[in-house]
């Protein structure tokens, strides 16, 4: 039974309506950006794609928080990037930026003093400048090699003071840049995994069946024609809850699992006289060892099975794995 949390006296229907209005305003602000994906956006992409150095993203205050996120997204999607605080830049960190770099500077007003202080130095140094502002007539917009218009009709804050819709729009425009660059570079899933090796996503994209499957003597298998008792003994020895049944060339022609055993015991059967061929499941599902372990998970989910056989290009059995192996590898 669930109960509703007590409502604080200060919370009213007005608060809920205001929350909905915030989302509506921010959604409209992002939608308005679609019409601004134009020649300026293409020019920004060209500058970054031909950059021989790195992309340096900078911003002050709330724009700085958005700049950090844009830099992180760029870096994780194939565009080397880092954040530089504009205040620290004028006290030595400007030395991090080279003439081969492209600078993306964020400011809703386009008049942030800390950024305006370093812009002439950046340009004199030879770095290309992309500005992302909410004012196309601002100083920063005019000084840029490329300006991206992230202006919004209104902030979602009812006071019109806290950066809300403007930061959302800037973040969305940064994401649009990163994803367009990802596509232009041909950056794929395996490339993405290489920048995320420590997380669950990296494990799903980097771990292959060959990395987790049992091999050699650890693979449960019996030849065609043996008795059910022999197959059960092999299942017990190998502890995978199944055994493959292979032909003379080592190709799996069947599989017998714990589930098959339960179904077999529903009928009178002599385990010492019954050939495994009579009770096995034929044409078992197999997966190549070079496939991603995540694909093994997908197959198991799709066909409601707990174990899977791995076969090479010639169809010979080379390994076996179950859901526990995938759990230990952190793929599930």
Average pLDDT, the chain: 91
Q: Using alpha carbons, select from 36, 167, 45 the residue that is nearest to residue 102.
A: 45
Total structural domains within the chain: 2
pLDDT band, residue 91 (cuts 50/70/90): confident
DSSP per position, 101-155: -EEEEEESSS--HHHHHHHHHHHHHT-EEEEEES-TTSHHHHH-SEEEE---S--
pLDDT of residue 193: 60
Whether the per-residue pLDDT at 6 is higher than 60: the answer is no
| Domain-embedded: residue 10 | no
Torsion of CA 179, 47, 97, 122, to 10 degrees: -130
Q: State the average pLDDT over residues 145-156.
A: 96
pLDDT of residue 26: 96
pLDDT of residue 1: 47
Q: Using alpha carbons, select from 110, 137, 115, 117 the residue that is nearest to residue 57.
A: 115
Do 182 and 290 lie in one domain? The reply is: no
User: For tokens 């601002």, what's the residue?
Assistant: 138
| Domain-embedded: residue 6 | no
Q: Retrieve residue 141's tokens.
A: 């917009």
Do 180 and 213 lie in one domain? The reply is: no
Do 118 and 176 lie in one domain? The reply is: yes
Compute the chain's Rg from CA coordinates. Answer: 30
| Domain-embedded: residue 5 | no
Domain that holds residue 65: 17-187
CA distance 20 to 31: 17
More confident residue, 5 or 90: 90
281-282, strands of its sheet edge to edge: 221-223, 242-246, 252-257, 281-282
CATH of the domain at 150: 3.40.50.10490
Q: What is the pTM of this model?
A: 0.65
Whether the per-residue pLDDT at 78 is higher than 60: the answer is yes
pLDDT of residue 332: 72
**What does the pLDDT look like over 216-254, one tens digit per residue?**
999 999 999 999 999 999 999 999 999 999 999 999 999
- Contact between residue 208 and residue 293 where contact means Cβ atoms under 8 Å apart: yes
Percent of the chain residues past pLDDT 90, beyond the cut? 78
pLDDT band, residue 20 (cuts 50/70/90): very high
Do 181 and 268 lie in one domain? The reply is: no
């Amino acid at each position: 039974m669930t109960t509703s949390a007590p409502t604080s006296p200060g919370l009213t229907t007005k608060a809920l309506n205001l929350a909905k209005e915030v989302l509506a305003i921010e959604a409209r602000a992002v939608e308005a950006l679609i019409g601004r994906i134009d020649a300026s956006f293409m020019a920004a992409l060209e500058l970054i794609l031909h950059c021989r150095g790195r992309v340096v993203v900078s911003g002050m205050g709330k724009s700085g928080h958005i700049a950090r996120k844009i830099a992180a997204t760029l870096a994780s999607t194939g565009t080397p990037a880092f954040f530089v605080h504009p205040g620290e830049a004028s006290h030595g960190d400007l030395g991090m930026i080279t003439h081969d770099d492209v600078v993306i500077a964020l400011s809703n007003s386009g008049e942030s003093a800390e950024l305006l202080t370093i812009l002439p130095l950046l340009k004199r140094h030879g770095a290309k400048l992309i500005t992302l502002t909410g004012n196309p007539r601002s100083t920063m917009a005019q000084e840029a090699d490329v300006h991206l218009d992230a202006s919004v009709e209104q902030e979602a804050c009812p006071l019109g003071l806290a950066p809300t819709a403007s930061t959302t729009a800037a973040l969305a425009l940064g994401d649009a840049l990163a994803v367009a660059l990802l596509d232009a570079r041909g950056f794929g899933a395996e490339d993405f995994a290489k920048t995320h090796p420590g997380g669950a996503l990296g494990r799903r994209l980097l771990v292959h069946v060959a990395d987790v499957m049992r091999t050699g003597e650890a693979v449960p298998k019996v030849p065609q024609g043996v008795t059910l008792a022999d197959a059960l003994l092999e299942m017990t020895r190998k502890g995978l809850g199944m055994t493959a049944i292979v032909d003379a060339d080592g190709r799996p022609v069947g599989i017998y699992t714990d589930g098959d055993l339960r179904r077999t015991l529903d009928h009178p059967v002599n385990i010492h006289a019954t050939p495994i061929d009579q009770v096995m499941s034929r044409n078992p599902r197999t997966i190549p060892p070079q496939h991603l372990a995540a694909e093994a998970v997908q197959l198991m989910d799709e066909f409601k099975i707990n174990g899977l056989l791995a076969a090479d290009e010639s169809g010979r059995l080379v390994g076996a794995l179950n859901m526990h192996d995938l759990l230990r590898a952190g793929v599930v």
